[in-house]
Amino acid sequence: MGIPLHAIVSSLLVDGTWSLPPARSEAQVELYSSLTTIQLAPTQDYYEWEINGQVYTTYKTGQLYDYLCEPRPDVFWHKAVWISRAIPRHNFHAWLVVLNRIPTRDRLINWGIQVDDRCLLCNSNQESRDHLFFTCNYSYDLWQIIARRLQLLPQRDWQATLDQMISLSTQTPQQILTLLAWQATLYWLWTERNARQHTNTFRTVDQIFKLLDRQLRSKINSFRDSNPNRSSTMLQSWFRFG
């Protein structure tokens, strides 16, 4: 249109007349017609967001989402899944696991897909969400190692484990560490399951733990700049029984 990339609207108005190249399409004609109706003010323009009658100077997706969607009460497990300073992909994966929406083999069979129903980790029982976390011997062996470091009594039943995580109601370094480690365990077990499914590669429980341990320590160290005391407390708790 011949307008400089960084031009502002007022730069196109010279002595009360719009300085614009001839229109070359119907869209430009409509744009020019709209421009002639604009009364430019001498004050600086600004923007604001109005949601449900309340004016905001910043845009927040969460506020708009809550306004557009029907309000619903928090689910009882939200504090165990949506934790602050968590690893985002672990948050998301834990959310899918709690909702039982990961494509385990029992679900694939229910969708009409012909697959072997045996667990890819232990190769003995039917694979399901509840079996993977932590009825499966392989996954339970990993969870035992993690739980021992957290001074936690490991449960083999999925609902019992979830209830255990939900009961951690206080925002202490130990609680945050426990939830971070639990979510990391879910994530790395599912990663190992998928690696066996798609690339036919197998890792031992000890190898998975080393990957999880390295990632968790890196995450804890990332707290050091904003909260060095929390970082030190969590590292001490993690290493105390390691």
Query: What's the rounded Cα separation, in Å, for the pair 165 and 100?
Result: 17
pTM above 0.85, yes or no: no
Contact 209, 192 (CB under 8 A): no
Residue 221, both tokens: 């160290």
Contact 9, 31 (CB under 8 A): no
Residue 236's CB is within 10 A of a number of other CB atoms, namely: 10
- Predicted confidence at residue 95, as pLDDT, reads 96
For 180, left (φ over 0), alpha (ψ -120 to 50), or beta?
alpha
| DSSP-derived secondary structure letter, 14 | E
Contact 193, 108 (CB under 8 A): no
Does the N-terminal peptide bond of residue 134 adopt cis geometry, omega within 30 degrees of 0? yes
Q: What is the pLDDT along the chain (242 residues), one digit of tens a residue?
A: 666 788 787 787 788 788 888 888 999 999 888 888 877 777 877 888 888 888 888 888 888 888 888 778 889 899 899 988 889 999 999 999 999 999 999 999 999 999 999 999 999 999 999 999 999 999 999 999 999 999 899 999 999 999 999 998 677 888 999 999 999 999 999 999 999 999 999 999 999 999 999 999 999 888 888 888 878 888 888 887 56
Taking the mean position of all CA atoms in its chain, how far away is CA 65? Answer: 16
- Predicted confidence at residue 206, as pLDDT, reads 96
- Predicted confidence at residue 123, as pLDDT, reads 94
Residue 192: helix, strand or coil by DSSP?
A: helix
- Predicted confidence at residue 5, as pLDDT, reads 83
Which amino acid, one-letter code, is at 26?
Answer: E
Q: Would you list the domain boundaries of the chain?
A: 78-240
Residue 31: helix, strand or coil by DSSP?
A: helix
Kind and range of the H or E run holding 17: strand 17-18
